[in-house]
Amino acid sequence: MAGATSPSAAANLAGKSGVRVVVIGDPGTGKSSLVVALATEQFPENVPRVMPPTRLPADYFPDRVPITIIDTSSSPEQKPKLIAECQAADAVVLTYACDRPATLERLSSFWLPELRRLQLKTPVIVVGCKLDLRDEQQVSLEQVMAPIMQSFREIETCIECSALRQIQVPEVFYYAQKAVLHPTAPLFDQEAQSLKPRCVRALKRIFILCDNDKDGALSDVELNEFQVRCFSAPLQPTEISGVKRVVQEKMPEGVNDNGLTLTGFLFLHALFIEKGRLETTWTVLRKFGYDNDIKLRDDLIAMPIKRAPDQTLELTSEVVDFLRGIFNMFDVDNDGALLPSELEDLFSTAPENPWSSDPYKDCAEKNVLGGLSLEGFLSKWALMTLRDPTNSYANLVYVGYPGEFSSAFTVTRKRRVGRKKQQTQRNVFQCYVFGARGSGKTSLLQSFIGRQPSDALPSNSERFATNSVELPDGTRKTLILREIPEGDVRSLLSDRESLAPCDVAVFVYDSCDEYSWQRARDLLVQVATHGENTGYEVPCLIVAAKDDLDQCAQALQESTRVSHDMGIETPIPISVKLRDLNNIFCRIVHAAQQPHLSIPETEAGKTRRQYRQLLNRSLMVVSVGAAVAVVGIAAYRVYAARKNSSS
pLDDT in tens, 334-380: 999 999 999 999 999 999 999 999 999 999 999 999 999 999 999 99
551 band by pLDDT with thresholds 50, 70 and 90 = confident
Average pLDDT, whole number, for the chain?
Answer: 90
C-alpha span between 640 and 40 (Å, rounded): 106
CB-based contact 477:428 (threshold 8 Å): yes
Interstrand relation of 67-71 and 54-56 (parallel, antiparallel or unpaired)? antiparallel
- Position 391 pLDDT exceeds 90: yes
What is the predicted pLDDT for the residue at 553? 86
User: Which regions of 200-319 does DSSP assign to beta strands (E)?
Assistant: 217-218, 255-256, 259-261, 313-315
What is the predicted pLDDT for the residue at 611? 66
CB-based contact 563:569 (threshold 8 Å): yes
- Measured between alpha carbons, how far is residue 627 from residues 360, 621, 637 in Å? 63, 10, 15
Half-sphere exposure of 545 (CA within 13 A, CB side): 26
What is the predicted pLDDT for the residue at 8? 38
CB-based contact 386:313 (threshold 8 Å): yes
What is the predicted pLDDT for the residue at 54? 94
Q: Which of 128-142, 294-308, 435-449, 590-604 has the lowest mean pLDDT?
A: 128-142
- CA dihedral sign of residues 76, 78, 83, 89: negative
More confident residue, 278 or 139: 278
Across 15-22, average pLDDT: 86
What is the predicted pLDDT for the residue at 637? 63
pTM: 0.84
Nearest to 406 by CA among 268, 552, 292, 304: 304
What is the predicted pLDDT for the residue at 14? 58
9 band by pLDDT with thresholds 50, 70 and 90 = very low
Question: What one-letter code names the amino acid at 492?
Answer: L
Kindly report the backbone phi and psi dihedral angles of residue 315, in degrees, each rounded to the nearest multiple of 5, phi listed first: -65, 140
